[in-house]
Structure formats: structure tokens, C-alpha cells
Amino acid sequence: MDARLTVLVCLAAFALGGCAGHTHSLIPEHSDRDITIGTFQHEGPQGSSMMVLEYRGARFEARGFAIVRNQNLAELRRSYGPGKHYDQIFSALDTDHYLYSAQPVLRADSGVTLRCSAVWRAEGSLAGHCVTGDGARIHFRYG
């Protein structure tokens, strides 16, 4: 029975591996100066997500948007394979090579929206931009 429990615990760790849920905080010196507050929270590819920006005095928020996880195996094979490292990447034992992205639409209480795009790697900083209704781009970076 102990062997089964050990196997289940290991499988659970692999299933939950990659981008574990956590909160990123805005890095003001690498973001648009009109953004005063920002947080980005995600719980992995299928969990809850939330993004908040305070831009020009208005609070914009989105909840429950999708987190997409991608991996370019052909490029990774050119870079690392064939071999043990690529085999670990291919079998999902090495999850450092996933690229995560999100496309939240943030709304203010006034009904104004920001269409945003964010990209990050596991254990990396999250960066992207939002587009206002008049087409202006707002750049952000979270740590």
C-alpha cells in the first residue's frame, strides 16, 4: 500500500507542476507611468485568475480569464535534443520550457475596458500590454 501512495503523490506533483498558482506584483519602473497599482494572480492553467490595474485613477479588473500553456517541441528538439534533457521536456518532467499567456479584458466601474495581453515563463516575470478604447498601448511588467 505504501508503494501505491508514493506513486500517487509523485503523479500528483507532476500533474500540478509547471506554473503553480501565485500572485505577481507590478514593477512600476518597468511599466507605463500612468499605472499606479497592479496585481496578477493565477492558479495554473485551469484555476482562478485575476488581473487588476489602476490606470489614470480608475481601477480596472478582470477575473476568471483563461491561462494558456504552450510549448514549441520542434524548437526545443532543435535546441536540446535528441537526448535526456529533451526526453524530460517531452515527457513533462521538465516544465521550465512552458510559455504561458493570457488575454484578459479589464473593466472599470464606468464600463470602460482595457484589452490586455500577457506572456510569461514558469518562474519568470510576466510582461505585456493593454490597449485602451482609443488604441493607446499601456505596457506593464509584473515580478
pLDDT-derived band of residue 4, with 50, 70 and 90 as boundaries? very low
- The stretch 11-21 carries a mean pLDDT of 40
pLDDT-derived band of residue 70, with 50, 70 and 90 as boundaries? confident
Handedness of CA 80, 45, 38, 72 (dihedral sign): positive
Tally of CB atoms within 10 A around 82: 9
pLDDT of 89: 53
Provide the β-strand partners of residue 54: 37, 59
pLDDT-derived band of residue 109, with 50, 70 and 90 as boundaries? very high
Rounded-to-integer distance, Cα 101 and Cα 110, Å = 27
Among 38-42, 80-84, 96-100, 114-118, the minimum mean pLDDT is found in: 80-84
Q: What is the average pLDDT value for the chain, to the nearest integer?
A: 77
Is residue 121 pLDDT above 90, yes or no?
Answer: no
pLDDT of 6: 35
Cβ proximity of 100 and 120 under 8 Å:
yes
- The stretch 44-57 carries a mean pLDDT of 82
